[in-house]
Amino acid sequence: MASHASALKAHRQSLKHREQNRRFRSQLRTAIKNIRASLAAKDVEKARGAFSKTVALIDRMAGKGIIHRNAAARYKSRIQIGINKLSA
Instruction: Say which amino acid occupies 3.
Output: S
User: Which pTM value belongs to this model?
Assistant: 0.82
Average pLDDT over residues 63-76: 96
| Those residues with Cβ within 8 angstroms of residue 66's Cβ, 6 or more apart along the chain or in another chain | 21, 24, 25
Query: Domain locations in the chain?
Result: 23-87
User: What average pLDDT is seen over the chain?
Assistant: 94
* C-alpha to C-alpha distance for 87 and 20, rounded to whole angstroms: 36
23 sits in which H/E element? helix 5-40
pLDDT of 83 reads 94
Q: Which fold has domain 23-87?
A: Methane Monooxygenase Hydroxylase; Chain G, domain 1 (1.20.58)
Average pLDDT over residues 23-44: 94
Q: How confident is the model at residue 2 (pLDDT cuts 50, 70, 90)?
A: confident
